[in-house]
């Protein structure tokens, strides 16, 4: 059975053959007519060739243009635009040729005119067919049984006209007009199926309007071109006398016109729809912020970001003062913290405040209000308290540059966001309290002991290199992993990994990674195959939201070369003793478990490097480079590189200690917020 690619190739070959034969036969007929010689072939032969050419073109586009469910709608319209542009350029070149040589005997030669006409005819049929298939894809998007039945009737009638067109007809004939009218009515009915338009955003609708308008312009120009040729009495074939082509052109124009009008009239409501969609997404983010492992401060950030976007405020801030949890946070958006006291003063002195909740009479601290204020930059304010278990811990303030900037709909949206944030914070705190109970702590201690046993107690030492490892979990258990394995007397496999997330789930996935490593390393796979097999195995057992980053090395002491691959892990750091400088290996790679199909191998890049005496290889997890100090500055890759360069002459254990000391000094604390692991390897030969 032929594959899709095979059908596409055959359709192109047959379309080329049928067009060539059609052109040759029609040119022979033109030659015979010009020289008043009897032409032996009946007219039905050339009409059959035209019908076969049209069928081949339709088959090509049926298999080459994807369905609307699997491609962007604008991309479908783009295909039509590009083919129409190419056809228009070729047609313009031919028209330019005729204009330049106007009056010359070449432009009056019937054979030359018919030849160029057939070029135009082939391109126009190709454009009309491609547009027809795209229109079909759009109409049948989210198809129903009745719609599919109507389309099949239309398509069968349309194909039946190819048989009708085997015999020469004129567009003035009653049968021609009747068939054309029936197809036009059915096409008009089908043209009101425009469900795909609802899924376009504002930008996509503008692009669609442009492409659809250009389709109509193309059709107008092509029809004008065909009419130009029709005026010449020496034409052997007139495409405008073909009911199939005329019906398709009419259908294309009708659907384009209706689509254009519907999109145009939907433009004013698009922003409202997108805004509602953004609100739903923001609400979902607030709802999922705690389950996704976000911190309490992240909830405040999402709340402020969502609220600002929903009501189009020019500035905002949220301040949290909770002594029971030792939280003192002020987050701002497009406003300096120094400007906040002046705005607070303007709110207090405002004579026209609208109180939005009844608690104001009972508790002045729980006030929800909107007011117009006297301020050089902002004229209206919306203020909501942030509560946890009925106690106010802070407030959200939104600002606009115009008076009465907040309407009832905006206030309701913010009320919903704040209430959901309150619930998320309460849930977060309840979860934090649950994690601190004694039973959970005991379970974490057990998990910690088990996890320690999963990491190698002692690294294998090799005559070609010295190696030292250091790891520390942010919690009692973590998700960092490393291991080493001797493949033979001169090759050694080395791995380091980092599981997404922290805590017990990360430790559990780390255990799975260890099992997979020990299963695969015995197969003596190259780094690429190792990554592919590991990704396949992990895809079957990891949660959908989890993944593991890995760097895998095979070190050959016989050739003094190492091959490696990186699956989304931190770039490895290599120090060259000869050049006295360090650099990162920045080969591409995708984390294990992110792409769970057979295409993962496309994202695996294997690299190789040579090593010499006193060269140093540093493997680490992102807990090192992403560690922050009190100013929220990250330790970063540059500091790591600089510290290694300064201490590269030391033994691996001393290098590790220097790096960790510098890290602790930068962060000004011994306990970091993420798991961190270092693997130092120094070559002897």
Q: In this structure, are 344 and 430 located in the same domain?
A: yes
Say what percent of the chain tops pLDDT 90: 38
Percentage with pLDDT > 70 across the chain: 88
Q: Which of 257, 272, 287 is where one domain is finished?
A: 272
Radius of gyration of the chain from its Cα atoms, rounded to whole angstroms: 36
Render pLDDT for 339-390 as a digit per residue (tens, 0 to 9).
999 999 988 888 778 888 755 444 555 788 888 898 989 999 999 998 888 7
> Can you tell me whether residue 211 is helix, strand or coil?
helix
Same-domain check for residues 529 and 614: yes
Phi and psi of 145, rounded to 5°? -65, -45
Closest residue by Cα to residue 504 from 457, 449, 544: 449
Q: Is pLDDT at 611 greater than 90 in this prediction?
A: yes
Query: What pLDDT does 361 receive?
Result: 46
- 286-290 — which CB contacts under 8 Å span 24+ positions? 286/417, 286/420, 286/421, 286/424, 287/420, 287/424, 289/424, 290/424, 290/427, 290/428, 290/431
Q: What is the mean pLDDT of residues 105-126?
A: 84
Do residues 391 and 526 both lie within one domain? no
Region 621-650: mean pLDDT is 90
Helix axes 174-190, 243-288, angle to 10 degrees: 0
pLDDT at res. 30: 80
Ramachandran assignment for 12, one of left (phi > 0), alpha (psi -120 to 50 degrees), beta (any other): alpha
- Residue 573's pLDDT band (boundaries 50, 70, 90)? very high
Residue 76 lies in a domain: yes
Does residue 646 carry a pLDDT above 90? yes
| CATH number for position 398 | 3.30.450.40
pLDDT tens per residue across span 489-531? 889 999 999 888 776 777 778 888 888 988 999 899 999 999 9
Same domain membership, residue 531 and residue 385: no
Residue 443 counted as domain residue: no
Q: Does residue 217 belong to any structural domain of this protein?
A: yes
Question: Distance of CA 579 to CAs 221, 314, 645, 646, Å?
Answer: 67, 53, 11, 13
Q: Tell me phi and psi for residue 463, to 5 degrees.
A: -65, -20
The reported pLDDT for the residue numbered 289 is 53
Q: Domain check: are 413 and 496 in the same one? A: no
Residue 272 has pLDDT above 60, yes or no: no
State mean pLDDT over 122-136.
92
Both tokens of residue 471?
Answer: 């790891």
Mean local confidence (pLDDT), 186-197: 90
Q: In what order do the strands lie in the sheet with 465-472?
A: 465-472, 676-683, 616-620, 573-576, 581-584
Averaged pLDDT of the chain: 84
- Hey, how many other C-beta atoms are within 10 angstroms of the C-beta on 164? 14
pLDDT of residue 364: 55
Residue 281 lies in a domain: no
- What pLDDT does residue 327 have? 81
Q: How far apart are the C-alpha atoms of 596 and 394, rounded to whole Å?
A: 44
The residue among 451, 506, 514, 510 whose CA lies nearest residue 485 is 514
Alpha helices in 407-459 (DSSP H): 408-435, 438-454
552: helix, coil or strand? Answer: strand
Residues 521, 460: Cα–Cα separation, whole Å:
15
CB atoms within 10 A of CB 127: 25
How many angstroms separate the CA atoms of 99 and 215, rounded?
A: 25
Cite the DSSP H helix spans in 35-72.
Answer: 43-64
Confidence of residue 651 (pLDDT cuts 50, 70, 90): very high
Cβ(666)–Cβ(462) below 8 Å? no
| Residue 46: per-residue pLDDT | 87
Helix (H) or strand (E) holding 192: none
Neighbouring residues of 514: CB distance < 8 A, sequence distance ≥ 6: 454, 481, 483
CA distances from 361 to 344, 354, 658 (A): 20, 13, 62
Q: How far apart are CA 417 and CA 385, in angstroms?
A: 12
559-to-491, 563, 608 alpha-carbon distances in Å: 10, 11, 12
**Angle 281-423-444 (CA atoms, 0-180°, nearest 5)?**
100
451 pLDDT tier (thresholds 50, 70, 90): low
Please identify, among 435, 464, 493, the residue that sits at the C-terminal boundary of a domain. 435
For the cut 60, the answer to whether the pLDDT of residue 656 exceeds it is yes
Its domain, for residue 402, covers 296-435
* 3-class DSSP assignment, residue 567: strand
184 within a domain of the structure (yes/no) = yes
Report residue 309 as tokens: 């976007």
The two three-digit tokens of residue 209, written as one number:
């309007």
Residue with the larger pLDDT of the pair 30 and 672: 30
CB 98, CB 107: distance < 8 Å: yes
Residue 97 has pLDDT above 90, yes or no: no
| Residue 50 confidence (pLDDT) above 60 | yes
Q: Please tell me whether residues 265 and 362 are part of one structural domain.
A: no
Task: Write the CATH number for 597.
Answer: 3.60.40.10
* Residue 317 and residue 266 share a domain: no
pLDDT digits (tens, 9 = 90+) for 192-243: 988 888 778 788 888 889 999 999 999 999 988 888 877 765 777 888 888 9
Q: Quote the number of domains for the chain.
A: 3
Query: CA-CA-CA-CA torsion for 421, 422, 425, 431, nearest 10 degrees?
Result: -120
> Does residue 448 carry a pLDDT above 70?
no
Helix-then-strand count for the chain, H and E? 18, 16
- Yes or no: say if 131 and 215 are a contact pair by the CB < 8 Å rule: yes
Same domain, 108 and 202: yes
Whether 486 is covered by a domain: the verdict is yes
State pTM to two decimals. 0.48
- CA-nearest of 198, 169, 193 to 254 is 193
Rounded Cα gap, residues 254 and 638, in angstroms: 62
Task: Report yes or no on 286 lying in a domain.
Answer: no
Given 408, 435, 462, which residue is the final one in a domain?
A: 435
- Residue 653: which of 622, 679, 635 has the closest Cα? 679
Indicate whether 264 and 200 sit together in one domain: yes
Please name the residue that has the structure tokens 């290889």: 617
Residue 322 has pLDDT above 70, yes or no: yes
Q: Are residues 678 and 606 in the same domain?
A: yes
Q: What was the pLDDT predicted at 443?
A: 60
Question: Is residue 445 domain-resident?
Answer: no
Residues 425 and 484 in one domain: no
Q: Are residues 36 and 180 in the same domain?
A: yes
* SS3 (DSSP) at 391: strand
C-alpha separations of 92 from 86, 113, 221 in Å: 10, 15, 10
Q: Among the listed ranges 317-326, 474-483, 509-518, which one has the minimum average pLDDT value?
A: 474-483
Band the pLDDT of 183: cuts 50, 70, 90. very high
Query: How large is the average pLDDT for residues 286-311?
Result: 72
């Amino acid at each position: 059975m032929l594959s899709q690619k095979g059908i596409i190739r055959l359709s192109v070959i047959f379309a080329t053959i049928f067009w060539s034969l059609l052109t040759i036969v029609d040119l022979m007929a033109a030659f015979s007519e010009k020289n008043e010689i009897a032409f032996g072939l009946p007219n039905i032969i050339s009409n059959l060739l035209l019908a076969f050419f049209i069928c081949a073109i339709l088959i090509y586009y049926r298999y080459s243009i994807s369905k609307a469910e699997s491609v962007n709608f604008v991309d479908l319209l783009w295909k039509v635009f590009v083919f129409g542009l190419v056809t228009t350029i070729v047609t313009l070149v031919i028209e330019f040729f005729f204009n330049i040589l106007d009056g010359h005997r070449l432009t009056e030669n019937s054979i030359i005119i018919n030849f160029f006409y057939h070029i135009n005819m082939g391109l126009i049929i190709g454009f009309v067919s491609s547009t027809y298939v795209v229109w079909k894809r759009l109409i049948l998007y989210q198809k129903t049984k009745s719609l599919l039945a109507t389309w099949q009737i239309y398509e069968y009638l349309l194909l039946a006209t190819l048989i009708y067109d085997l015999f020469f007809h004129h567009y003035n004939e009653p049968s021609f007009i009747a068939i054309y009218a029936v197809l036009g009515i059915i096409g008009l009915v089908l043209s009101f199926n425009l469900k795909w338009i609802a899924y376009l955003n504002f930008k996509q609708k503008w692009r669609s309007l442009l492409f659809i308008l250009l389709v109509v312009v193309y059709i107008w120009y092509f029809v004008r071109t065909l009419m130009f040729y029709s005026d010449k009495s020496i034409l052997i074939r007139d495409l405008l006398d073909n009911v199939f082509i005329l019906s398709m052109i009419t259908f294309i124009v009708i659907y384009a016109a209706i689509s254009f009008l519907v999109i145009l009239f939907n433009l004013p409501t698009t922003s409202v729809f997108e805004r509602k969609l953004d609100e739903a997404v923001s609400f979902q983010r607030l709802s999922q912020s705690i389950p996704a492992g976000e911190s309490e401060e992240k909830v405040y950030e999402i709340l402020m970001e969502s609220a600002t976007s929903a009501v189009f405020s020019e500035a905002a801030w949220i301040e949290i003062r909770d002594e029971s949890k030792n939280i003192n946070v002020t987050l701002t958006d497009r406003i300096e913290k120094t400007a906040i006291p002046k705005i607070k003063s303007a709110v207090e002195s405002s004579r026209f405040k609208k109180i939005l909740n009844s608690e104001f009479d009972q508790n002045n601290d729980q006030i929800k209000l909107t007011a117009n204020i006297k301020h050089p930059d902002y004229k209206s304010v919306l203020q909501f308290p942030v509560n946890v278990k009925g106690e106010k811990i802070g407030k959200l303030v939104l600002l606009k540059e115009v008076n009465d900037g907040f309407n009832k709909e905006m206030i309701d949206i913010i009320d919903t966001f704040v209430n959901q944030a309150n619930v998320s914070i309460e849930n977060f705190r309840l979860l934090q309290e649950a994690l601190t109970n004694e039973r959970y702590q005991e379970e974490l201690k057990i998990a910690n002991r088990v996890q320690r046993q999963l990491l190698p107690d002692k690294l294998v030492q090799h005559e070609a290199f010295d190696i030292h490892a250091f790891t520390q979990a942010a919690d009692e258990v973590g998700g960092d992993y490393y291991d080493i394995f001797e493949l033979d007397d001169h090759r050694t496999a080395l791995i380091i990994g980092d599981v997404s997330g922290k805590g017990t789930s990360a430790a559990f996935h780390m255990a799975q990674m260890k099992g997979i490593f020990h299963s695969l390393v015995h197969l003596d796979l190259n780094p690429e195959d190792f990554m592919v097999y590991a990704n396949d195995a992990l895809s079957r057992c990891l949660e959908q939201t989890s993944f593991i980053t890995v760097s895998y090395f095979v070190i050959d002491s016989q050739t003094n070369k190492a091959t490696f691959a990186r699956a989304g892990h931190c770039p490895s750091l290599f120090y060259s003793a000869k050049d006295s400088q360090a650099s990162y290996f920045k080969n591409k790679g995708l984390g294990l478990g992110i792409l769970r199909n057979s295409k993962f191998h496309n994202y695996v890049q294997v690299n190789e490097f040579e090593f010499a005496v006193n060269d140093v290889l540093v493997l680490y997890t992102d807990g090192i480079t992403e560690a922050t100090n009190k100013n929220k500055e990250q330790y970063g890759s540059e500091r790591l590189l600089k510290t290694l360069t300064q201490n590269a002459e030391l033994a691996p254990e001393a290098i590790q200690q220097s790096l960790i000391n510098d890290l602790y000094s930068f962060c000004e604390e011994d306990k970091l917020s993420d798991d961190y692991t270092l693997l130092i390897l120094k070559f002897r030969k």
